[in-house]
Amino acid sequence: MKNLLVLLMPMMLLVGCNNEETEPATETDKLGSETVIDEPKEEVEESDVEETTIVEEDKDNNVVEENKNKPVVQEKPVTKEKTETVNLSGTKDKYLKQLNDIENSLGDLNNQYNNGTQTEMNEAKSKILNKWDAALNEIYGVLKKQLSADEMSSLKVEQRNWIKQRDQKAKDESSVFTGGTMEATIYVSTQAQLTKERCYELVQKYMK
């Protein structure tokens, strides 16, 4: 019996060790199960997020489709047209004022013409003509931008005819003093007066 017990003791110890090693393995299986359970939960949550995103995108797409069906109201061209009209009106007022300012600035030159020598008279009228001629050229340049191609073409013909008529009128007026000292003075004086009148005419007739 003693010999049998001696032989059985090591075997019992081995069985006991095997049982102890088996218990931790069971705990490991539980942790593994918990991990496996947790992972599906995370996948479900990610799936929920993806579905939510898809729903939001669908909503956005619906909004875009609804907007496409709405009529587009073009407001900018209307606003631009109103602004241009105001600017054109302002341009006309600006040049009428500018012409009046030129007229008011000629006091000294008119005094020089009325009270000066023949040379001073000629000089005064030449300066007056230059002022009105410069204003006429500026107005003509503005009208090139404002008028249509057809309107500008007609104005060019009209302007050429006007220059011929102005110079002919100046020649006729000064011919009374042919050979005299006043001939050149009257010629320039007539040109200056007609050029001034033409400036006002172009602004009143063509500027808006």
Contact assessment for residue 178 and residue 116, using Cβ atoms and an 8 Å cutoff: no
Nearest to 57 by CA among 68, 69, 49: 49
Query: Could you tell me which residues come within 8 angstroms of residue 118 by beta carbon, excluding any fewer than 6 positions away?
Result: 181, 182, 185
- pTM given for the model: 0.57
N residues, the chain: 208
DSSP code of 179?
T
Question: Between these two residues, 52 and 89, which has the higher pLDDT value?
Answer: 89
Query: Could you tell me which residues come within 8 angstroms of residue 131 by beta carbon, excluding any fewer than 6 positions away?
Result: 102, 105, 106
Nearest to 140 by CA among 162, 161, 157, 155: 155
- Distance from C-alpha of 23 to C-alpha of 87, rounded to nearest angstrom: 96
DSSP 76-127: HHHHHHHHHHHHHHHHHHHHHHHHHHHHHTTHHHHHHHHHS-HHHHHHHHHH
Q: What pLDDT, in 10s, does the model give residues 109-168?
A: 999 999 999 999 999 999 999 999 999 999 999 999 999 999 999 999 999 999 999 999
Taking each helix axis from N to C end, the angle separating 182-206 and 149-174, rounded to the nearest 10 degrees, works out to 160
Q: What's the token pair of residue 202? A: 């172009």
Note the pLDDT of residue 1. 54
- Distance from C-alpha of 95 to C-alpha of 200, rounded to nearest angstrom: 9
Q: What pLDDT, in 10s, does the model give residues 13-72?
A: 555 544 544 444 444 343 333 333 344 444 444 444 444 444 444 444 444 444 445 555
CA separation (Å) from 146 to 64, 92, 127, 138, 163?
Answer: 42, 11, 29, 13, 22
